[in-house]
Chains A and B, each alone.
Chain A
Amino acid sequence: MTEPAAAPESLLASPDQLTQREITQEIVDLHAAFAAREAAGETLPATMLDFAPYRSSVLRHPTKNPKLVDPETIELRSPAYGQRDVAAIESDLTIQHAGEPLGERMTVQGRLLDSWGRPVANQLVEIWQANAAGRYIHQRDQHPAPLDPNFTGAGRIVTNERGEYKFTTIKPGPYPWKNHVNAWRPAHIHFSVFGTGFTQRIVTQMYFPGDPLFALDPIYNTIHRQRDRDNLVATYDHDLTTPEFSTGYRWDIVVDGPDATWFEPEAGEH
């Protein structure tokens, strides 16, 4: 190595610092171009890796199409998790410290499903998020909003036999970043999910209904179809709201596939 690597926090600001108007126009133009390609018969992935409005993707997206391969045995299985791998309290982000965190207490719950709508049981779901002020506890986050000594913003759970998960947390605030001038991320919770096969692994973000920042956000819009973007937005569900305590959101997660099954045919199937 000829020179020391740049400090990671120094890399977070994009060098060109376009205006929001310019970034938004790039997003609109790219979505139109992708829609035209699909209309011409091309099949595109749901998330576009080459998406220049998200400035740090410019040097980090592969330039070649991925190679289509048949998953092999190891890829059709996944690491094994069980209920004992995670303590029950780890799914409540509001009780990890001595005091109560500030902000709007909320629950988010839903089901982990496969492409046929079947529940995916005993898989690990991990979340991390900013606090109510839009500040991450990560040391590289320089946003001058207050940290909350009673909120870390990380949780995890293993789905139950019905594929269900439920987190209690604080609604995260919108968060400024340095992709362009006056760039703000819509409020979101990061989700990391395992399926029954390693090919089904996903890391994504859950959003909140009606966020005015959706159209302005390059990361949300790396997903080029409106329908797929809508699927990342949780639904407010008053039946999940607890009187005098918390608001309730519902969000189901669908892992792709399995495209093949490792399991032997059941008795009677040949």
Chain B
Amino acid sequence: MAAVAPAHWGPKTHDATAGQTVGPFFAYGTEFERMNEIAFPHSPGAIVLGGTVFQGDGAPIPDAIIEVWGADVDGSIPRARGSRKRDGHTFTGYGRTFTDDEGHWEFWTRAPGATEPGRPAFFAVIVYARGLPSKLHTRIYLPDDEAALAADPFLASLDDDERASLIATRTPEGLRHDFRLQGEHETVFLAF
């Protein structure tokens, strides 16, 4: 799929508003109830997706926001409303959480299915933090479908270290994935 706007739209006419850091005091402005419970905890198919965010000297980042947006287990794109006002059972696909004092974050969610046959499944992710001048997009790929991961042209274009930074690790509860904003094993971030 080529990411091109329909030709009849013509060239862009408006400058995009530039991003800025979330700063240190985002919590009271962006928190909402059960915001990291994309799937109701312990409901059928619910997994824990979590990890740690690290800065360049290896210290954890205690003031980051992680946002996750993913398909349902069958690969369908959630269209249900209510991400911000959860009803306790509807899967909306979107959640937000903050890192704790040890830089750890986690969600209850569902493992997404492939949105197209043969494609590797992934969560779309955005990382924000104090000290990060604008958002960072990345992906968390599921580790299970090795054939689909191997066949993906984008993943194939990366070296082993880069590819590993995008693929989660299975745990008994679900999936673990760390983000390293800088330095050794730096996470691959995306531009569209």
Contact = CB atoms under 8 A, between A and B. Distances in A.
Nearest to A77: B77
A261 interface: yes
Interface in A224-270: 227-229, 231-232, 253-261, 265, 269
Contacts of A8: 24, 62-63, 101
Interface stretch (B10-18, B41-49, B142-150, B169-177): B10-18
Nearest to A200: B16
Interface stretch (A16-24, A98-106, A123-131, A160-168): A123-131
B27 interface: yes
B191 A61 contact: no
A149 B129 CA distance: 28
B14 A60 contact: no
B128 A85 contact: no
Interface string A215-230: 0000110110001110
B25 A84 contact: no
B135 A202 contact: yes
B192 A254 contact: no
B133 A5 contact: no
A138 B16 contact: no
A35 interface: no
Interface residues of A, number: 91
A47 B134 contact: yes
Interface in B139-162: 154, 157-158, 162
A72 B94 contact: no
B167 interface: no
30 contacts: A6-B62, A8-B63, A46-B16, A47-B20, A48-B133, A49-B134, A57-B133, A62-B182, A63-B182, A66-B189, A68-B191, A72-B115, A73-B1, A73-B116, A79-B69, A85-B84, A115-B13, A126-B30, A138-B27, A154-B28, A190-B20, A201-B67, A203-B135, A220-B20, A232-B20, A254-B14, A254-B17, A256-B16, A257-B16, A259-B192
Given A61-B182, A258-B5, 20 more contacts: A5-B60, A46-B16, A57-B21, A57-B133, A60-B56, A60-B182, A61-B133, A73-B77, A80-B78, A80-B83, A80-B92, A116-B10, A128-B28, A128-B30, A140-B25, A156-B84, A192-B22, A254-B15, A255-B16, A259-B3
Interface of B: 1-6, 8-10, 12-30, 55-57, 59-63, 67, 69-71, 77-85, 92-94, 101-103, 112, 115-116, 119, 122, 124, 126, 128-137, 154, 157-158, 162, 181-183, 186-192
